[in-house]
Structure 1
């Protein structure tokens, strides 16, 4: 070997601990950066999925308001007709016949 190669080898051997520590530090930083990137991607995906799920739940849980006053009035009118015998069609026919005869009775 040439003297140049021997000197380089001796210097490498003397600084081997420093070189190994530097390589380990760089490897650790590379791994840490990879973990941080993966963690960021997972958090971003989770947040996106959570946002979509809550948006779908909001659309599912919307209330539908219906105005049922017309139905209530109709059922009340039917109940009145059933309980009030004067408003039945038969009673109206009798009243019409009596009015044509001129014999309308008042209560």
Structure 2
């Protein structure tokens, strides 16, 4: 049961940016990017990748066979953002996203440990 809860929390963390794929106006609100900017297109594509991560997390909540791949995808998503955020000097405009990923790290640790520990 702990596994399923941790996976669903990770899915929730990735849900808002994933929804931006279906509601592109959210990109302007989330990232303060003008819809006419080329960066907007990249962020829209980024939202599609969040759909993948969110879907994998939900899938892993119910199918243990997907947990290793899903944990790698979630770890790359969260840890790469936190690393880049820190390297960029921790821009205040992205602080909420960083806090969400930081809050998810204990759940990520649980799912990675459980996915890769011997049965």
Structure 2 length normalisation: TM-score? 0.23
Higher Cα Rg: structure 1 or 2? 1
Specify which structure has the bigger relative contact order, considering alpha-carbon pairs within 8 angstroms and separated by 6 or more residues: 2
